[in-house]
Amino acid sequence: MMKNIFTRFLTIACALCTTAGIQQASAQKNESDNGSVTTTLTPHSKDGVFSSTASYTFSVNSTYKNDEVGKVSYLVTTETGKKVRADSVKVKIGANGSGNYNFDIPGLSPGFYKINFMVNVSDYDDTTRKAFGIRPTEIRSQYGKPADFEAFWRQALSDLAKVKPDYKVTELPDSSRDNRRVFLVEMKSLGNLTIRGYLTEPITKNKNKKFAVLLGLPGYQVSLGPMFGTDPDIAIFTINIRGSGNSKDVINVRRESYIVLNLEDKNRYVLRGAIMDCVRAVDFICSRPELRHDNIIASGGSLGGFLAVATSSVDKRISFCSAANPILSDIRNLVHEVDWPFIDIGRYVKTRPGLTMDKVLSNMDYYDAKNFATNLECPTLVGMGLVDNIAPPNNVYTLYNNVRAPKHVIIFRDLAHEIGVKFNVYEGRWMRDTFALF
Amino acid sequence: MFMRADGCETLLHCFKKKFMSLKKSPLKVLLLITILFTIFQNSSFAQGGFPVRPGRLLISPAVSYFYANSQWDSVGTLRSFPNKGNFTSYGITLHSEFGITRRFAAVATLPYVVNQYRQATAPKTTTTSGLTDLETGLKFYAFNIDFIYYFSIQATAITPMYTNNASLGYGEEGGELKLAFSGTGHLSDLSTYFNVEDGVRQYFGTNGPIQDRYSGTFGLTLDEDFLNQVSVTVSGIYSQSNDKSFSPVRTLSNKDFNFLQASLAYGHTFTPEFSVFINGGKFITGRNTGNGYIGSLAFIYRLDYR
């Protein structure tokens, strides 16, 4: 009986599979019969930055066996979505034909813009979304920094100095690899909170060897572990700021709550402590005889990029700053450009009686990356993606333009909140040259 | 919304890749490459136009062998040495560089040679040996382009370590100013490097020649870890003096001559501190100079003192 049921089930299953296969093959055949349209957008600038007129070629290729009639158009908006320019051309693409359409967009003010290219023809509609910049070196924020910005951070450093670090270094022999020793580092930071990080050092027979240090700073709510690599010249210290990774003894909040923690009081805002945690990490580096105290690179992406800029600004012991996609730059202009963190901030404001968005913005002026940038004295590398919707290019470039130290920016035309290998390679080269690690 | 913050995770990965890239970056080539210098019958290996790390001592003892049994005469015609003669030179060269600061490095080269000329008639064998010209200099790392191409300037003093021995050199002090240009690149998946340099040297004595010494090297690393490398070098000297005489017995003291030579080198890096290079080469053309073959074996030690 069971055997019969199983045989019948197997037969039905095979029949269904066969039918499905035939249907799939049939669908593919129909699609192949119908044809398709593909588009290619070619910006006439490697990094999507133009000195005056933005220029693109939009190519449309059709494999349909009939004429495709319609239009090709573009729409330029500001980063906040305000329409700036639009244009279209009527197109008729023959069977198995193609067309190239050149668009020049002159007369735009300095800044970054979003641009959508649309193709709407008989059998096909599609939109390609990109961004471009016009003379970004002229971008400036209309908002200055608070008059007591430096005094505010001097006070923070002074408060940190009153906290005895109580460094505790524990070797983790089981974690050793890549010819590196691994240490768990614990220390006290602002507010007497315990923060932790991992130090990995190359094993060397040279007792006089001193290592340059890469201080790795975490992205938002990212837990950093020990970092490895076979480079014999560089020690890596990854720090988990308060509320991140293994530094959650006191601050252990939900992901969306971290960025708003104590935002109503600039002296208690969580990022004040987080930045001081990074300074404490530099204190630790400078307490170690085997580490070079004049060859410290602060490096990170996203919140880590912000922390790299902020820490390098308030702590001149850092000799190289590398910030990829730094967030929280030109915050007052950021409010209407990005959802995060302002949706969370908006919710937080509603739950705090008497707290207003104006008050929040006044507090955040002390945490604006562009305001830290003016005090940077070390070589600074900035990486950005043109279609980044967390660290928009206008805001990142405002930060970059505020840097008066030797600086370099690498723009990734087609990337969002990330950077490409080119950034890493350039960072390695520049850092090695700066630290004379030839 | 927090999917956006996942971008941070991506960055974390980038960050991890970043450190790995320090090891794999083309700049790492710079740490292990060594440029061959074959001028006349001595060879040495050095950093070329690349800067030297402060506190790093590069020591390169090399042994070299040179053989010639023909010469290009004063109009560049190739002919055998008279009386079936041949010239053999064994050399030991100690070259060292020390990074003083990020910009400055001290450079020194001390060659010792055993020169032997044999011919069919008496005196059948003439042998001379001794230290030749000590070169001490200061190299200045001028600038770079995108941390890929490096330019340096080097000033060198030439001090003869012998007296009244024309077989070992001019016996005159001299000075040299040299410009060097080095860089790294890629050829398919392999890393490449090059070095181009040109130095003008003036000897200060009677009829002391003025010389243009030039060299061009192109090298290729054969593996990802830069353990094996090959390079080809073309180098030469254009020397001008009122003293037009030529002697195959005293090749080091001929003053008015020129030659072009080519050589091929293979290097293996055993540890970051120790490499070995072998090199073979040949003169291609010349005037008032011997037509020789050269081979050398060099050891490179990199010692860090900071």
Question: Which ipTM was obtained for this model?
Answer: 0.82
Q: Which of A90, A108, A138 represents a domain boundary (last residue)? A: A138
Report the C-alpha gap between A182 and A170 in whole angstroms.
Answer: 9
Task: Summarize pLDDT for A77-99 with one digit per residue, the tens.
Answer: 998 899 999 999 999 999 999 99
Smallest CA–CA distance, residue B103 to chain A, in Å, is: 9
Considering only the C-alpha atoms of chain B, give the largest distance between any 2 of them, rounded to a whole number of Å.
96
Q: What is residue A244's three-state secondary structure?
A: coil
Are A438 and B15 in contact (CB < 8 Å)?
Answer: no
Q: Give the single-character DSSP code of A177.
A: B
| A415 reaches B (C-beta below 8 A) | no
Task: Summarize pLDDT for B229-266 with one digit per residue, the tens.
Answer: 999 999 999 999 999 888 877 777 889 999 999 999 99
Same domain, yes or no, for A326 and A402? yes
Report the C-alpha gap between A127 and A264 in whole angstroms.
Answer: 42
Interface of B with A in 6-35 (CB under 8 A): 7-12, 14-23, 25-27, 30-31
Evaluate whether residue A416 is within a structural domain: yes
pLDDT of B33 > 80? The answer is no
Nearest to B14 among A230, A418, A430 (CB): A418
> Which whole number is the average pLDDT over A377-405?
97
* Contacting residues of B for A304, CB less than 8 Å apart: 8, 11, 15
Q: Per the structure, how many domains does chain A have? A: 2
| A425 reaches B (C-beta below 8 A) | yes
Q: Find, in chain A, the residue whose alpha carbon is nearest to that of B148.
A: A429
Residue B44: per-residue pLDDT: 61
Same domain, yes or no, for A327 and A398? yes
Report the C-alpha gap between B303 and A121 in whole angstroms.
Answer: 69
| B53 reaches A (C-beta below 8 A) | yes
For testing contact with chain A, the best of B10, B11, B104 (most A CBs within 10 A)? B11
Report the C-alpha gap between A356 and A63 in whole angstroms.
Answer: 57
Which helix (H) or strand (E) segment is B7 a member of?
Answer: helix B2-24
- What DSSP string describes B156-205? EEEEESSSS-TTT-----EEEEEEEEEEEEEETTEEEEEEEEEEEEEE-S
Same domain, yes or no, for A290 and A419? yes
Evaluate whether residue A63 is within a structural domain: yes
Q: CATH no. for residue B154?
A: 2.40.160.40
Residue A205: per-residue pLDDT: 86
Same domain, yes or no, for A96 and A233? no
Residue B43: per-residue pLDDT: 59
Task: Summarize pLDDT for A207-228 with one digit per residue, the tens.
Answer: 888 999 999 999 999 999 999 9
Same domain, yes or no, for A293 and A335? yes
Are A255 and B2 in contact (CB < 8 Å)?
Answer: yes
> Residue B239 in contact with residue B211, Cβ under 8 Å?
yes
> Which whole number is the average pLDDT over A402-415?
97
Q: Which of A110, A138, A166 represents a domain boundary (last residue)? A: A138
Q: What is residue A383's three-state secondary structure?
A: strand
Nearest to A429 among B1, B147, B272 (CB): B147
Half-sphere exposure of B159 (CA within 13 A, CB side): 9
What angle in degrees, to the nearest 10, is found between the helix axes of A421-434 and B2-24?
50
Same domain, yes or no, for A158 and A99? no
Neighbours of A65 (CB within 10 A): 10
Same domain, yes or no, for A322 and A387? yes
* Band of pLDDT at residue A6, cut at 50, 70 and 90: very low
Evaluate whether residue A19 is within a structural domain: no
Phi, psi of A141 (to 5 degrees): -85, 145
Q: Per the structure, how many domains does chain B have? A: 1
Q: Which of A98, A117, A138 represents a domain boundary (last residue)? A: A138
* Plot region of A58 (φ>0 → left; ψ -120 to 50 → alpha; else → beta): beta
Smallest CA–CA distance, residue A430 to chain B, in Å, is: 6
pLDDT of A28 > 60? The answer is no
Phi, psi of A84 (to 5 degrees): -115, -50
Domain of B159? Answer: 2-304
Smallest CA–CA distance, residue B182 to chain A, in Å, is: 13
* Band of pLDDT at residue A418, cut at 50, 70 and 90: very high
- What DSSP string describes B31-64? HH--EEEEETTEEEEE-TTS---BTEEEEEEEEE
Evaluate whether residue A401 is within a structural domain: yes
Q: Is the pTM of this model over 0.90?
A: no
Evaluate whether residue A282 is within a structural domain: yes
pLDDT of A25 > 50? The answer is no
Same domain, yes or no, for A269 and A298? yes
Report the C-alpha gap between B38 and B64 in whole angstroms.
Answer: 10
Residue B38: per-residue pLDDT: 60
* Contacting residues of B for A301, CB less than 8 Å apart: 8, 11-12, 14-15
Q: CATH no. for residue A156?
A: 3.40.50.1820
Task: Summarize pLDDT for A89-128 with one digit per residue, the tens.
Answer: 999 999 999 999 999 999 999 999 999 999 999 999 999 9
Task: Summarize pLDDT for A164-201 with one digit per residue, the tens.
Answer: 999 999 999 999 998 999 999 999 999 999 999 999 99
Q: Find, in chain B, the residue whose alpha carbon is nearest to that of A206.
A: B304
* Band of pLDDT at residue B186, cut at 50, 70 and 90: confident
Residue B142: per-residue pLDDT: 96
Report the C-alpha gap between A417 and A172 in whole angstroms.
Answer: 34
Residue A309: per-residue pLDDT: 98
Question: What are the tokens at B259?
Answer: 């030659």
pLDDT of B7 > 50? The answer is no
Are A221 and B5 in contact (CB < 8 Å)?
Answer: yes
CA B190 to chain centre: 23
3-state helix, strand, coil in chain B (%, to 5): 10, 60, 25
Residue B89: per-residue pLDDT: 92
Domain of A263? Answer: 149-434
User: Nearest to residue A304, comparing CAs of A392, A216, A173, A202?
Assistant: A216
For testing contact with chain B, the best of A207, A231, A291, A390 (most B CBs within 10 A)? A231
Evaluate whether residue A413 is within a structural domain: yes
Rg of the Cα trace of chain B? 22
> Which whole number is the average pLDDT over A236-251?
96
Residue A303: per-residue pLDDT: 96
Residue A56: per-residue pLDDT: 96
Q: CATH no. for residue A87?
A: 2.60.40.10
* Band of pLDDT at residue A245, cut at 50, 70 and 90: very high
| A340 reaches B (C-beta below 8 A) | yes
> Residue B253 in contact with residue B170, Cβ under 8 Å?
yes
Same domain, yes or no, for A382 and A322? yes
* Contacting residues of A for B101, CB less than 8 Å apart: 436
Same domain, yes or no, for A262 and A215? yes
Dihedral of CA atoms A342, A347, A352, A353 in degrees, nearest 10, equals 110
For testing contact with chain B, the best of A302, A325, A390, A412 (most B CBs within 10 A)? A302
pLDDT of B23 > 50? The answer is no
Same domain, yes or no, for A130 and A108? yes
Per the prediction, chain A carries an average pLDDT of: 91
Evaluate whether residue A278 is within a structural domain: yes
Kindly tell me the number of DSSP H helices and DSSP E strands found in chain B: 2, 16
Evaluate whether residue A6 is within a structural domain: no
Residue A8 contacts by C-beta under 8 Å, 6 or more apart in sequence?
A: none
Task: Summarize pLDDT for A30-64 with one digit per residue, the tens.
Answer: 344 578 999 999 999 999 999 999 999 999 999 99
Same domain, yes or no, for A262 and A207? yes
